[in-house]
A and B are shown apart, each in its own frame.
Chain A
Amino acid sequence: MTYPETFVSEIVNRCVPVQIDNSKPENESLLKRYHHIWTPDIRILNGDGDVLQEWQGYLPPAEFAARALVSIGQAHLRLREFDKAEECYVETLKRFPAAIAAPEAQYYLGVTRYRRHPEGNELLHQWAILRAKYPVSEFRLKQSFKELP
């Protein structure tokens, strides 16, 4: 079980948590609206109900906590709330550096700082750290065009 862990619930409670049962007929229209197909099905929404980030499937507590932090960070980044996004990525890298979601946090930490201050060098700096810390990851590949001669 993932949710009973205090470090997980503390992260979830930073948002407004709402849970619905996919076996109840009264939830059918909501399930159709979000094209629900599999559980657990987690969406990070804004107050208009727009999906800013999502994932499906079970994760053990530490991986779930890291995934939740990175996903909340992604939602803030899409809303151009750069300081809040950065806080999520930095916290992920500090608390869960070995998590599967950690390379994504490192990648988007660079993107966030670049979007906030395009004239700076933080994108390439954070991506250099990504190459050193997470050499085998999808997000290393996503910056690999910077490694071409």
Chain B
Amino acid sequence: MISWRKDFNEALKEAKRDSKLVFFDVFNPG
């Protein structure tokens, strides 16, 4: 199961803090 973060800016902060990359997915619910 993927632990999707819902807040984009928080995801960037987390990546910076943990020296990780961000996996950014834009989807359409339809």
Query: Interface residues, chain A, CB within 8 Å of chain B?
Result: 3-4, 9, 12-23, 30-31, 34, 36, 39-49, 52, 68, 72, 75-76
Contact = CB atoms under 8 A, between A and B. Distances in A.
B29 A16 contact: no
8 contacts: A4-B1, A18-B8, A18-B23, A19-B6, A21-B29, A39-B28, A43-B24, A68-B23
Contacts of A12: 2, 23
Contact of B25 (A9, A23, A40, A52): A40
Given A23-B28, A45-B21, A72-B21, 13 more contacts: A12-B23, A15-B23, A16-B21, A16-B23, A17-B22, A18-B4, A34-B24, A41-B26, A42-B25, A44-B23, A45-B24, A47-B16, A49-B22
Q: Interface size for chain B: under 10, 10 to 19, 20 to 34, or 35 or more residues?
A: 20 to 34
Interface string B1-30: 111111110011111111111111111111
A16 B20 contact: yes
A43 B16 CA distance: 16
Contacts of A76: 21
